[in-house]
Amino acid sequence: MNVGVVVFPGSNCDHDAYHVVKHVCGQEARFLWHKEADLRGVDAIILPGGFSYGDYLRTGAIARFSPVMQSVTAFAKKGGPVIGICNGFQILQEAGLLPGAMLRNRTTKFLSQDVHVRVERSDTAFTAGVEPGTVLTMPIAHGEGNFHLPDEELDRLEGDGQVVFRYTAKDGTLDDESNPNGSARAIAGVCNAARNVVGLMPHPERAAEGALGRVDGRRLFEAMSYALHALQHA
Amino acid sequence: MSKARVYVTLKKSVFDPQGRTIHEALSGLGYQGVTDVRQGKYFELSLPELDLEEAKKAAEDIAHRVLSNPVIESYRVEVEP
């Protein structure tokens, strides 16, 4: 399995993601430069966190027009697994590959803290094998993570089972206090209708090994390996 | 050449945390009569089109595709020679 990590100007979690794939999970990883349309035969793609293009205009708004994103879009439409983490999630929303848009956090503050998220679906490429109801602890670090969609579209999203992660208390119960940025229906992550594209605001790559004090994020990377293995041997 | 001014604002149904913070600050400064504040973005485009109708069309295309996110924002375009 070969995982591509896209590098935009301003990405700052690209090396963390590469490290987890390669050194923690023992898979092949390679960087994909934003100006290159060639995906170099990768089997899965990570859009890492950071501040692509300085967050100018809107978060992810400029990155979505880069040459690599044309190829990522084609790859995703063919069913290729793509995960967007934090800024990567925002880029996928701007590209129209994932629903919703991010507003400024309701506190207007940049939030850098651990959160608990409940896994709602195990039928995506990045949560395969993770029981729904499992609570994962991972850090967030963002100023714009307040997930927004009009109410009727939220209903449709929930009906189609596209809500993958929700901010909850440590025991998995929903309460307003555990929803740090004010996201609609406490949504921390979603997937597309085909379930191969996933985006989330928390950083699994910053919680993937014992030395960092958190290991829950590793489950998403393991799910990706599992899903790819199943795909290749189908 | 023509010029276009593009105003991008959050849709009315969308909560604006920055606008609220500014509003609260204004109240603190004694501007009690201000009932609401909404923050937006403003762009000036210099366009090659001479015809104002065409310039407006071009600016609207840019505003729709790039300058605004239709999920949360709306835009208004003004053109002049």
List the beta bridge partners of residue A163.
Answer: A190
Give phi and psi for B41, each to the nearest 5. -125, 150
CATH topology of domain B2-80: Mth169; Chain: A , (3.30.1280)
Of the candidates B29, B65, B31, B27, which has an alpha carbon nearest to the alpha carbon of residue B45? B65
Contact A101 B69 (CB under 8 A): yes
pLDDT band at B81 (very low <50, low <70, confident <90, very high): very high
Lowest mean pLDDT: which of A156-160, A210-214, B57-61? A210-214
pLDDT tens digits for range A208-222: 999 999 999 999 999
Measured between beta carbons, the chain B residues lying within 8 angstroms of A103 are 10, 14-17, 72
pLDDT tens digits for range A61-84: 999 999 999 999 999 999 999 999
The ranges assigned to domains in chain A are 2-232
Q: Of the candidates A103, A108, A150, which has its C-beta nearest B21's C-beta?
A: A108
| Chain A CA closest to residue B73 | A101
Average pLDDT rounded to a whole number, residues B38-64: 96
Residue B70, pLDDT > 90, answer yes
Q: Which of B69, B73, B74, B75 to mutate to test the interface with A (most CBs of A within 10 A)?
A: B69
CA–CA dist B50, B33 (Å, integer):
43
CATH topology of domain A2-232: Rossmann fold (3.40.50)
Average pLDDT rounded to a whole number, residues A182-190: 98
* CA A143-A144-A146 angle, 5° bins: 125
CA–CA dist A82, A102 (Å, integer):
19
User: What was the pLDDT predicted at A228?
Assistant: 81
User: What was the pLDDT predicted at B23?
Assistant: 96
Residue A1, pLDDT > 90, answer no
User: What was the pLDDT predicted at A234?
Assistant: 65
The ranges assigned to domains in chain B are 2-80
User: What was the pLDDT predicted at B80?
Assistant: 95
By percentage, how much of chain A surpasses pLDDT 70?
100
User: What was the pLDDT predicted at A232?
Assistant: 73
Residue A177, pLDDT > 90, answer yes
Answer whether 0.80 is exceeded by the pTM: yes
User: What was the pLDDT predicted at A123?
Assistant: 94
Q: Which of A53, A55, A58, A102 to mutate to test the interface with B (most CBs of B within 10 A)?
A: A58
- Beta strand A111-119 with A163-168 is antiparallel
